[in-house]
Amino acid sequence: MSTSLANPGVGLAVLCTVMVVCAAVIYGVTHLGSPLVVPSAAIRGAVQLAAVSLILAAALAHLWSSILVLVVMFAAAVATSSRRARAGWSAGWLALSLAAGVGIVLPMMLLSGVVPLQGVALVPIGGIVLGGAMTATSLAARRGLDAVELRWGEVEAGLSLGLSVRDARMEVVRSASSDALLPGLDQTRTVGLVTLPGAFVGVLLASGSAVQAGAVQILVLVGLLLAQTSAVAVTIELVAREAVHRPRHHAART
């Protein structure tokens, strides 16, 4: 019996189809939403993964093409975080948050020699770090802006007491946006006890060494903590200083 996991073939296609149908049925029966949501998401994911697999097969052969892939991924991450923040064009400033997260972690990994300057290592590690920073940035921006909307009276009270705009907004933004760090912290605290993350499983299946898999996973988790903390810190500052804002509240203050 083969020890390889999820070999492409009829068996994999049938299993995935059955799981998608089951999820769609549950969606419909429990009125969670349109049953078509699950099939459409699955089809889109399959098409995207097929395309990415073909692109990466060619891109990872050269360092310059690997860097180009990371640039495209960064642009997609900025677009996603901007859309989630619902802050119009001002959300473009969230690129600084993502740059802060990735810009501090990847150089440290590369300069230390722990991660080799090769596409086959740079793209996966960079993608994981960027994805974590994107999620934290999206949550921090959205929660921070929501807090400003819901607690606008507190912001005005702070302004009336002589606080600067930045300090008045920071009073309500900081506590709300800091929740964006909880998923990463919980994942790190429970790794090995509750979850076996993808990096661990991938290296374990590829190398058969649990020690090497653990080393890669702790590198990824600690890198994610640093990237997410940096990204959230910058995001909070951007929201507090109104660089990222929702138009109606920005206009209301002015």
Instruction: For residues 93 and 206, state if they share a domain.
Output: yes
User: Do 138 and 80 form a contact (C-beta atoms < 8 A)?
Assistant: yes
Instruction: For residues 78 and 161, state if they share a domain.
Output: yes
Instruction: For residues 173 and 241, state if they share a domain.
Output: yes
Domain count for the chain: 2
- Predicted confidence (pLDDT) at residue 124 exceeds the cutoff of 90: no
Listed ranges 119-133, 152-166, 227-241; the one with the highest mean pLDDT: 227-241
Structure tokens belonging to residue 225: 């903590």
* pLDDT recorded at residue 249: 52
Question: Which of 17-21, 28-32, 181-185, 214-218 is least confident?
Answer: 214-218
**Helices 182-190, 210-240: crossing angle, 10 deg rounding:** 160
> Which residue shows structure tokens 């507190």?
154
Instruction: For residues 33 and 118, state if they share a domain.
Output: no
- Predicted confidence (pLDDT) at residue 195 exceeds the cutoff of 80: no
Give exposure, 142-170, as e/b (b: 16+ Cβ within 10 Å). bbbbbbbeebeeebeebeeeeeeeeebbb
In terms of pLDDT, which residue wins out, 237 or 11?
237
Q: Report d(CA 234, CA 116) in Å as an integer.
A: 28
Counting residues of the chain whose pLDDT is more than 70, the rounded percentage is 88
> Which residue shows structure tokens 């109104």?
242
Instruction: For residues 43 and 72, state if they share a domain.
Output: no
* pLDDT recorded at residue 203: 65
Instruction: For residues 196 and 232, state if they share a domain.
Output: yes
- Predicted confidence (pLDDT) at residue 1 exceeds the cutoff of 60: no
* pLDDT recorded at residue 251: 40
Range of the domain at 54: 1-59
Confidence of residue 37 (pLDDT cuts 50, 70, 90): confident
